[in-house]
Amino acid sequence: MKPRRRRSYRLLITAGPTREPIDPVRFISNYSTGTLGYALARMARARGHQVTLISGPTELVAPRGVRKIDVETAGEMEQAVVKTFPKADGLIMGAAVADFRPIRVATQKIKRSGVAGSLRLWQLELVENPDIVARVARQRRGSQAIIGFALETESLLANARRKLKSKDLDAIVATQLSPRGKGRGPFGTDPVDGAILDREGRTKSFRSLAKSRLAARILDTVEETLASRAKE
C-alpha cells in the first residue's frame, strides 16, 4: 500500500525575538533564538508545504526553499504578518514578540552621568506593543488555522486556556520556563516541557521534548485542523 500523500498548504511561520530600540545602541528583547520556528519552517518545507518565514534577528539560516522576511521590531512583524496572512492557509505564531516598547527612542546614545560614585536614577517609560495574533484572528477567513504560543512561569494550563479562548485560536503551544539552574528551556536548543491545547478541549502534554519532535507535533496539529476545515 502506498503511503497517503500529504496535501500541500501555504503556511506562514514567525520566529525569533523582536528588538525594541531604546537609543541607537540599546534595545529591549528576550532570550528567543528562533530555534523552534526555524525547525518548523524546515520540517514544513520537507513535508511539501509552501512556507513563508517571518523572522526577527537570529543567527540561524533560513531553510532551502523557504521564503524569508526579515524584521526587527514588533511593529515591523505586525506589518509583515498582516500583509502575508491573507494568502496563507495557516499561521504558526512562533515568534517571541516583545510585549512592550519604549515610548520615546533617543536619537543619540544615552550617556552615563560621568561622575564617579554618583547614583543616577534613569526611568524608561514603556507602552504595549500590538497583539499580532489577536488582530489576524479577528480578520481571518473561516478556513484559516491559527496556532499561538504561551510561555508561562506559573499556572501553565490555566493561562494557556485563557489565551486560547480570548484570542480565538485553533490551538496553543504552552511551554513552561525551566527552573533556574536547569537550562534555558524553552529558549535555545534545550528540550521543553508543556502542552498543546486545542479549541475542542483536548490537551496533549509533553516533557523534555526535543524541539524537532515538538515541531512535528505542531505541524500535525495544523494539518489536522486544515484537513477538518476542508471537510466542513
Q: What is the pLDDT of residues 207-219, one digit of tens each?
A: 999 999 999 999 9
Kindly tell me if the per-residue pLDDT of 3 is higher than 90: no
Catalytic residue among 10, 26, 29, 30: 30
Instruction: Tell me how many degrees the CA angle 138-21-72 measures, rounded to the nearest 5.
Output: 55
Number of Cβ within 10 Å of residue 124's Cβ equals 12
State in Å, rounded, how far the first CA of the chain is from the last one: 28
Helix (H, G, I), strand (E, B) or coil at 158: helix
- CA atoms of 149 and 160, how far apart (whole Å): 8
Exposed, middle or buried by CB within 10 Å (0-12, 13-18, 19+), for 222?
A: buried
Bridge partners (DSSP) listed for residue 205: 195
When mean pLDDT is compared across 139-143, 145-149, 170-174, 223-227, the lowest value belongs to: 139-143
Kindly tell me if the per-residue pLDDT of 1 is higher than 90: no
Domain parsing of the chain, residue ranges: 10-100+125-231
Please tell me the predicted confidence (pLDDT) of residue 187. Answer: 83
Q: Can you tell me which residue has the cell 524546515?
A: 42
- Is 159 marked active-site? no
Mean pLDDT along residues 137-162: 94
Return left, alpha or beta for 2; rule: phi > 0 is left, psi -120 to 50 is alpha, else beta: beta
Q: Which of 165, 172, 169, 137 is nearest to 151 (CA)?
A: 172
Contact 195, 207 (CB under 8 A): no
Give this prediction's pTM.
0.92
pLDDT digits over 88-141, tens only? 999 999 999 999 999 999 999 988 766 666 667 788 999 999 999 999 999 998
Share of the chain above pLDDT 70, in %: 91
Of 3.40.50.10300, 3.90.45.10, 3.30.60.50, 3.40.50.300, the CATH number of 10-100+125-231 is 3.40.50.10300
Please tell me the predicted confidence (pLDDT) of residue 188. Answer: 83
Please tell me the predicted confidence (pLDDT) of residue 164. Answer: 97
pLDDT digits over 173-189, tens only? 999 887 654 555 678 88
Q: Which of 181, 177, 198, 179 is nearest to 32 (CA)?
A: 177
pLDDT, the chain, mean: 91
Please tell me the predicted confidence (pLDDT) of residue 117. Answer: 62
pLDDT digits over 10-40, tens only? 999 999 999 999 999 999 999 999 999 999 9
Give 205's pLDDT tier (boundaries 50, 70, 90): very high
Please tell me the predicted confidence (pLDDT) of residue 185. Answer: 64
Please tell me the predicted confidence (pLDDT) of residue 129. Answer: 96
Contact 25, 109 (CB under 8 A): yes
Please tell me the predicted confidence (pLDDT) of residue 220. Answer: 97
Please tell me the predicted confidence (pLDDT) of residue 68. Answer: 98
Q: Cα torsion for 133, 135, 137, 139, to the nearest 10°?
A: -150
